[in-house]
Each structure stands twice: as structure tokens, then as C-alpha cells.
Amino acid sequence: MSHSVLTLDTRTKADPRYGFFTDTSICIGCKACEVACKEWNQVPEDMQGFTGKSYDNTQALGANTWRHVAFVEQRVPVGQEAAAEDLVQAAERANASDGWGLDTYQDGEGIRWLMASDVCKHCTTAACLDVCPTGALFRTEYGTVVVQEDICNGCGYCVPACPFGVIDRREGDGRVWKCTLCYDRLKDDMEPACAHACPTKSIQFGELSELRERAEKRVEKLTAAGHTDARLYGADPDDGVDGFGAFFLLLDEPEVYGLPPDPVAPTHNVGQVWAGVFAGAAALGAGIAAAVLGGRR
């Protein structure tokens, strides 16, 4: 990802840096993460009612939901992942998993139920932080991104800046709120509430470099076992936000889970933005001059 001339390098330099690896292949959709987060952080309730969107009645991250479990029901042919290439590969996969498909129904079509716990990505280049005019959003010593609620004046700029649609303003409160990666718990050498509550360790907290290594191995293991759909999302330090502080292992394309497939922090183009602004300003100046001077002939 090229940086234009005027881009400041706002990537976090925290070392060691901490974050999440959310391995959605072992998420059982229990939502303990949602509840633990709300309990610890005293996040207000966020009743949406029955949505009919499988078991997801939470729908999205926002000011009052900092962990959100997504549910996607899919029909898949047995023994194959969603993106099978050719017969040879399909056969290899079938052998690798010793004939065990994901699920079997009578007519040979299986059901897959994807479950994934979404969270703020605590981006390496965090658009929310980069646009915050008050400095309420700041980078902690752990490399995470946190809102200082005693400074935020609710200008709302971070809300459309976030490429993932995470941060939002809280109704009746005026300020923006999002996952703090349990900053207060980290200060006391405790892991975040969601990681602590997750019964299957789908949510893993730790040093980011170590998590990335672990995640690579995990994808290798899954792929070898026939789950060729497994991939990491956000582990690449060359992606559009220079890598996520909270990255994921997904079993399908990101957009299936409601995530942008190729997110880019607008900060990467801020040079162009300013170039445009000043070109426009110059044009305005020239236009005014022309208008005033143009009548003297």
C-alpha cells in the first residue's frame, strides 16, 4: 500500500503490542463475550428485538455493543468447502479429512453454521484516531485505541471514518464509545473480559506477534485437515490499515460476516485529500481574482 507524500506515518509503535486473535472456527456462538463485555464495562442494554437473522439479535457493533457474534447459515455440499476448485483438489480434501464431511444430510447436502465474534480491530493505522480533533481517541502503551470519555465532545468524525463501521455515538450521552480492549484490566495484568469468558478460547488475547504466529499455524492445520476455506483476516501488516490489532480466522469471505474485504484507512490518502483542498482553495482564490479583475477591461 503506497503512502502519498504528505501522509504522516501514524502507525502504532507500541512494543510489545497486545491484541486479539479471534479464531472463529471454534466459536460456538454462546455470546458469553457479549455479556462479559457489557458486564465489565457497564455498557447500556441494546434491545433490538427478534431479527430473524438466525440467532443474531444484536446485529452489529456500535456504541452499546462492543462484541457482536455473527451467525450465518449456509448450505454446502458435503466434503467440500464453499470454494472448491477442481475435482483433484476436492478429492485430496476428501482424503485428507478421511471422508468426513462437515455435515451430512440425506440428500448429500450439508449445513454449515458460521459463528464469529466481531470486535473493534484496534488498527495499526487507526482512522478514528487519525481524524479525532480533540485527541480523545488515543493510542495506549499496549498499542490499542481507546476513547477518553472525559474529553470526547461528540463531534462524530470518527464514526464515518472507521472502515469497519465499529465506533458510534451513544444516544442520550453524546459521546462515542467502543471497545477499549479492557484497558483497565490490562493495567492490572488481567486479560480482557471477553477473552476471559470465552469458553472455547476462540477469543485469544496476547502479544500480537505471538498471536500472529499461532494463527498462521492454526490456518495451516485447518487447511491440511481439509478446511481450505480457512484464512486469516487482518494479520497482514501490509494491508489497508497496516494490520489489525484484533485479527481473525474466518471460514469464508469477510463480507459474508459483514466485514469489508479490503479495508483501507482513509489516512492513507490524506495527502491527496489535502492536495485537493488546497487545489480547490487556490482555484477559489483565482476565481475571485478573475471575477474582480475581469470587469476592469
Partner 1 sequence: MTREAVPAERVREQSMVPYGGPQSYYGQPVLKEPVWTPEVPLYFYTGGLGGASAGLALMAELTGNHKLARRAWLNALAGVSVSPVLLISDLGKPSRFLNMLRLFKVTSPMSVGSWILAASGTATAAAVGSELTGMFPSAGRAAKVASALLGMPLATYTAGLVANTSIPAWHDARLTLPFVFAGSSAASAGAAAVITTPAKQAGAARRLAAGGALVSVAAALGMEKSLGELGEPYRKGLPGKLSRVAGALNLAGGALIATRARHSRPAALAGGAILTAGVIAERWAVFRAGFMSASDPKYTVGPQRARIERRRASS
Partner 2 sequence: MGSNMAECHPVGFQWVLEAKERGAKVIHIDPRFTRTSAMADLHVPIRVGTDIAFLGGVINYILENGREFREYVKEYTNARAIIKEEFLDTEDLDGFFSGFDEEGGVYDISSWGYEGTDEETAGGKEKQDAAVSGEQAHGAHGIELKRGKLPKEDPDLEHPRCVFQILKKHFRRYTPDVVEQICGIPRETFLRVAEALCDASGREKTSAFVYSVGWTQHTVGVQYIRSAAIIQLLLGNMGRPGGGIVALRGHANIQGSTDIPTLFNILPSYIPMPHPQKDPTLEKFIELNGPSTGAWGELSSYMTSLLKSWWGSAAHEGNDFCFNYLPKINGDHSNYATMLRMLDGQMKGFFVVGENPAVGSANGKLQRLAMAKLDWLVVRDTNMIETATFWKDSQEIETGELVTEEIGTEVFFLPAAAHTEKDGTFTNTQRLLQWHHKAVEPPEDCRSELHFFHELGKKIRQKLADSQDERDRPVLDLTWDYPTVGRHQEPDAESVLQEINGRKVETGEFISTYEELEDDGSTTCGSWLHAGIYADGVNQTARKKPGMDQNWVAPEWAWSWPKNIRTLYNRASADPDGKPWSERKKLVWWDEEKGEWTGEDTPDFTVDKAPDYKPPRNASGTAALTGREPFVVHPDGLGWLFVPAGLEDGPLPVHYEPHETPFENPLYSQQQNPLRQRFDREENLYNPVESDVFPFALTSYRLTEHHTAGGMSRTVKYLSELQPELFCEVSPELAGERGLQHGDWCTVVTMRTAVEARVMVTDRMKPLEVQGRTIHQVGLPYHWGQRGHVTGDTVNDLFSLVLDPNVHIQEVKAATCDVVPGRRPRGKALLAFVDEYRAKATGHRPQATAS
Nearer to partner 1 (CB atom), residue 141 or residue 173: 173
For the CB of residue 50, give the shortest distance to partner 1 in the complex, in Å.
Answer: 12
> Residue 101 touches which of partner 1, partner 2, none (CB < 5 to 8 A by kind)?
partner 2
Nearer to partner 2 (CB atom), residue 58 or residue 228: 58
Burial class (CB in 10 A: 0-12, 13-18, 19+), 256: middle
Stretch that binds partner 1, among 163-171, 188-196, 206-214, 223-231 (CB under 8 A): 163-171
> Residue 34 touches which of partner 1, partner 2, none (CB < 5 to 8 A by kind)?
partner 2
Give the burial string for 201-224 (b: 16+ CB within 10 Å, else e). Answer: ebbbbeebeebbeebeebbeebbe
**Residue 280 neighbours by CB distance under 10 Å:** 10
Judged by CB under 8 A, does residue 169 bind partner 1? yes
- Binders in 195-224 for partner 1, by CB under 8 A: none
Stretch that binds partner 1, among 6-14, 26-34, 187-195, 197-205 (CB under 8 A): 6-14
Nearer to partner 2 (CB atom), residue 9 or residue 45: 45
At position 159, the amino acid (one-letter code) is V
| Residue 238, all three cell numbers | 501490509
> Residue 16 touches which of partner 1, partner 2, none (CB < 5 to 8 A by kind)?
none
| Residue 25, all three cell numbers | 472456527
Nearer to partner 2 (CB atom), residue 172 or residue 261: 172
Relative to beta strand 109-119, strand 67-77 is: antiparallel
- Binders in 23-62 for partner 1, by CB under 8 A: 52-54, 56, 59-60, 62
- Binders in 132-161 for partner 1, by CB under 8 A: 132-136, 151-157, 159-161
Judged by CB under 8 A, does residue 94 bind partner 1? no
Closest CA to 29 of 79, 68, 77: 68
Nearer to partner 2 (CB atom), residue 30 or residue 273: 30
> Residue 207 touches which of partner 2, partner 1, none (CB < 5 to 8 A by kind)?
none
Helix (H) or strand (E) holding 107: none
Helix (H) or strand (E) holding 1: none
For the CB of residue 142, give the shortest distance to partner 2 in the complex, in Å.
Answer: 26
Instruction: Please give the Cα distance from 184 to 163 (Å, whole number).
Output: 26
Nearer to partner 2 (CB atom), residue 105 or residue 278: 105
Give how far Cα 90 sits from Cα of 82, 87, 229, Å.
11, 5, 12
Instruction: Please give the Cα distance from 81 to 104 (Å, whole number).
Output: 13
| Residue 207, all three cell numbers | 502479544
